[in-house]
Amino acid sequence: MRTNLLLLLFFVFLFTVSLSAQETDTDSYPNFKVDGTLKNKYEYATGTNMSRFTIRNSRIGIKGIINTFSSYRAQVELSDEGKFKVLDLSGTISPLEGLSFTMGQTSIPLYNSYVVSPSDMMFANRAFLGKYFISTRDLGINAKYKFNLGTVPAGLEFGLYNGNAINDPVWKRNMSIGGRIELGTMDGLRFTAKVYDYPNNDSTHFLFYGADLRYEINNFKVETEIMKRDSKTDYYTDMLSYYIQSAYRIPIKSKFFDYFLPAARWDAIDERFDEKGFDTNRLTVGLGLGFIEQNFSSIIRLDYEWYFINNSMDIFDKNDQMDSDKLTVELLFTF
């Protein structure tokens, strides 16, 4: 508890210093920037007539450039449904243009930020494949190389990790290994394919692989992804999930808001692979009201989820509300 309090005071101090220095030249070295996310939700499950308020995320982080070839990143979760977590603790070296090596606790080469990062997500709740497959971070080393294939921007990513999720530096005989290839950019058309081998222990060994495609132009974007989890042991089942989601930002002139953001998503998850189709399907529709300032942004989201269940799944057994139709009201601040 004392360590957590010291970390909190340290990040608050950095945030205060960052605000007072936000007009300084960011091209000078060394430098730093404090960022954060506060995500509050109200949920009402129509199937059980139950409701709750939650602080889903309260993240604060610091990142900066030390010199022309090195940088760092640190981020903590002050309350993830009541739990304190250290998320990112890493340093990056860039010896050549386009090439970088990141070592420490960092992201694995499997997920897109707009599926798992609270500040980038299109909806209040994550897609199934971003929530139920595997942790988004681990302790290890990650290499990235960005280049051009003719006129097409491309990237390669490779990572080697402990394979025991975050904040647990265990000794391992077989480490996790993964990679990703990327074609295109976030503006326009982009495609990625990825694979991740996760040998955690004698009972848990998964192979993840998938691909995603997205297109964004002006204020419109559409994204789709499919991911498969193959279990290499008899203790767990295979799992398959996909989603397709889209949103259109409508600029408005208002005293309080800068845009409307209507959005829709269809996602599904399956572990039986029988003739009934995917075990669980979900339709989510949402409307957001947002504003953007120089250093801050905010959005109020109103989402509604419909669940279509062909077979019950253990991942929803925590409580009856998990796979119930639900209304969610979210207030998200980012800085």
Predicted confidence (pLDDT) per residue in 130-176, tens digit: 999 999 999 999 999 999 999 999 999 999 999 987 888 889 889 99
The answer to whether residues 178 and 192 touch, using CB atoms and an 8 Å cutoff, is no
- Mean pLDDT, residues 260-280: 95
- Is the pTM higher than 0.95? The answer reads no
Handedness of CA 182, 215, 329, 128 (dihedral sign): negative
Alpha-carbon span 91 to 159, nearest angstrom:
14
Q: What average pLDDT does the structure give for the chain?
A: 91
The whole-number pLDDT of residue 24 equals 47
Using alpha carbons only, give the angle 8, 330, 43 rounded to the nearest 5 degrees. 105
Domain boundaries 27-334, corresponding CATH code: 2.40.160.10
**Predicted confidence band at 127 (pLDDT cuts at 50, 70, 90)?**
very high
Alpha-carbon span 38 to 58, nearest angstrom:
4
Alpha-carbon span 269 to 264, nearest angstrom:
17
Instruction: Give per-residue pLDDT as tens, 41-78.
Output: 999 999 999 999 998 889 999 999 999 999 999 999 98
Instruction: Give per-residue pLDDT as tens, 229-262.
Output: 999 999 999 999 999 999 999 999 888 899 999 9
Single-letter amino acid, residue 93: I
For residue 13, pLDDT over 70 is answered with no
**Predicted confidence band at 195 (pLDDT cuts at 50, 70, 90)?**
very high
CB contact set of 37 (below 8 Å; sequence gap of 6+): 57, 58, 59, 118, 119, 332, 333, 334
Nearest C-alpha neighbor of 129 from the set 196, 47, 177: 196
**Predicted confidence band at 4 (pLDDT cuts at 50, 70, 90)?**
low
Nearest C-alpha neighbor of 5 from the set 90, 105, 76, 91: 76
